[in-house]
Amino acid sequence: MNPLRANGERLWQSLMNLAAIGATPKGGVRRITLTELDRQGRDRFAAWAKEAGMSVRVDAIGNMFARRAGADDSLPPVMTGSHLDTQPSGGKFDGAYGVMAGLEVVRRLNDLGMRTRAPIEVAAWTNEEGSRFVPTMMGSGVYAGVYEAEKMLLQKDVDGVSVGEALKAIGYQGEAKPIKVGAYFEAHIEQGPVLENTGTTIGAVQGALGQRWFDVVILGQDSHAGPTPMELRKDALLAASKLVVEVNRVARTYPDNARATVGHLRVSPNSRNVVPGRVDMTLDVRNAKDETLLAMVEDLKKCAAAIAAECKVGVEVREVLYFAPSHFDPRLIDSVRESAKALGLTCREIVSGAAHDAVYMARIAPTAMVFVPCEGGLSHNELENARPDEIAAGCSVLLNAMLAAAGVAQESSGQARAA
């Protein structure tokens, strides 16, 4: 069978149309979860899904599922999706792309008059970003049984509004129960620079890195920069700096997509002519393999202890998050790779450095993701951008991979137009 191609222009227009809801002056989107703007985004998605002949149901945590019936509608659906909420200063593509690409898959099947054996569903997960309510990936987490809906409904934002209250206020608390999912796909911008840097259009995502996050406190002693000789100092910033250098060295030493980052660092008293007595910093360590992740952490703890002794400071390292590495389904990953090949697209294996709704879905269903490049690897930023041809290419890969998973029930006369 010749591969199908998505209608890239229609997909792009839907993305831009959706991006108008919460558009920011700099070209980004601010559509925070469970706000009035989120309601508008959800309403538009529901309207488009219904126009495409789909039924829409909503569950207790506000996840939306648009369904296109299969020839055998009793089969578990082949699902795709992502999220419609954005970061406070977010872009047009993070999340929205995965939902709109799912919609385009259905629209294209409609164009062609194609029926799939299994039903197709497009999900819009609630609160993936976690910027208003923690934790992140709340909706898919509830669906996958990681979190209990009842508890999540009680989570509050900084103004004391609960998830349950916010859901009711926008009219998106439903009663649909979770169903078994046959396969789950998610299209997403890479949010990193690898595809762009290697001139690759499609990333066949193998899984997501495991993560361990730490808070680090370094306690030295404030002293005057002038009168205090170097050998009598207990400089917390010197110790912190040595640790930052080690964090980067360790990440470059280990295999399995090792990454380690100090993103946040605060100096006290932070005055030009005072040797710093205290530094608070974070440490984010990631690896594709659990055992390598642990080895990195052990190595870094030894570095921290050695630096503490050398700089005569105290160092406390406290773990605040652990997120196991996840592995996607080999058969579905193959299907993504084969779809890209059939479409004549460059494709490479890639590991997702960030977590996505697909990471939770992988716990309950065979799962794969399709990455496309984003400009400069930039995301969570109003300047987030992607090329229309690559956005379309990712959707075409999604279309063919989903079709392979769902099976084709009957081919229409429209098939000829697909090539």
Residues that bind a second copy in the complex, under the rule CB under 8 A: 190-194, 197, 209, 211, 213, 221-232, 235, 237-238, 240-242, 244-245, 248, 251-252, 257-267, 270-276, 282, 284, 286, 352-355, 376-381
- Please give the structure tokens belonging to residue 14: 């839907």
Specify whether the CB–CB gap between 123 and 65 falls below 8 A.
yes
Beta carbon of residue 245, minimum distance to a second copy (angstroms, whole number): 5
Measured in residues, the chain has a length of 419
Task: Count how many Cα atoms sit within 13 Å of the Cα of residue 158 in the half-sphere of its side chain.
Answer: 3
Which parts of 105-209 are beta strand (E)?
A: 115-116, 120-125, 183-189, 202-208
Beta carbon of residue 39, minimum distance to a second copy (angstroms, whole number): 28
Pairing of strands 259-261, 278-287: antiparallel
- Choice between 100 and 260, CB closer to a second copy: 260
- Choice between 20 and 232, CB closer to a second copy: 232
Positive or negative: CA dihedral 244, 208, 346, 419 = negative
Beta carbon of residue 13, minimum distance to a second copy (angstroms, whole number): 27
Alpha-helical (H) ranges within 211-355 are: 236-253, 290-311, 330-342
Q: From CA 190, how far away is CA 375, in angstroms rounded?
A: 10
> Any idea which residue has 């990440």 for tokens?
251
- Choice between 51 and 310, CB closer to a second copy: 310
> Any idea which residue has 């990681």 for tokens?
146
Beta carbon of residue 118, minimum distance to a second copy (angstroms, whole number): 31
- Please give the structure tokens belonging to residue 301: 């703890």
Beta carbon of residue 278, minimum distance to a second copy (angstroms, whole number): 12
What backbone torsions phi and psi does residue 241 show, to the nearest 5 degrees? -65, -40
Q: From CA 236, how far away is CA 220, in angstroms rounded?
A: 5
Per DSSP, the residues of 350-383 read EEESS--HHHHHTTTS-EEEEEE--GGG--SSTT
- Choice between 48 and 93, CB closer to a second copy: 93
- Choice between 23 and 267, CB closer to a second copy: 267
- Choice between 121 and 235, CB closer to a second copy: 235
Beta carbon of residue 329, minimum distance to a second copy (angstroms, whole number): 21
Specify whether the CB–CB gap between 274 and 224 falls below 8 A.
yes
- Choice between 185 and 371, CB closer to a second copy: 371
254: three-class secondary structure by DSSP? coil
- Choice between 284 and 334, CB closer to a second copy: 284
Beta carbon of residue 18, minimum distance to a second copy (angstroms, whole number): 23
Q: From CA 99, how far away is CA 83, in angstroms rounded?
A: 7
Beta carbon of residue 281, minimum distance to a second copy (angstroms, whole number): 9
